[in-house]
Amino acid sequence: MSPKIQRHFIQKTPGVCGGNARIRDTRIPVWTLVSFRQQGASEEELLRNYPVLTPEDLKIAWSYYEEHAQEIDRVIADDT
């Protein structure tokens, strides 16, 4: 996924979600979705628990994680 497309769907705003990467216009951090996925949550479960999200949002979150794994892993580690 191109960085231009990612920027549209992934936002970082100081004071919102600790400034961490989040899904467009929500307060759902990418690290939260990645963490739940690593714990075994399915995409269907994530979509059920976060009804504002779309399958495309999850695809973009996974793509962001692939390109920024160190950033997201650091946030997850700091949260535990």
pLDDT for 42-62, tens place per residue?
999 999 999 999 999 999 999
Secondary-structure percent of the chain, ordered helix, strand, coil, rounded to 5: 60, 10, 30
Range of the domain at 74: 3-79
Number of separate domains in the chain: 1
Asked whether residue 76 carries a pLDDT value surpassing 90, the answer given is yes
Average pLDDT over residues 15-40: 96
pLDDT at 1 over 80: no
Contact 72, 65 (CB under 8 A): yes
Cα–Cα separations (whole angstroms), residue 10 to 14, 29, 52, 74, 80? 14, 9, 15, 18, 23
pLDDT of residue 7: 56
Distance CA 54, CA 52 (A): 7
CATH number at residue 42: 1.10.10.10
pTM: 0.88
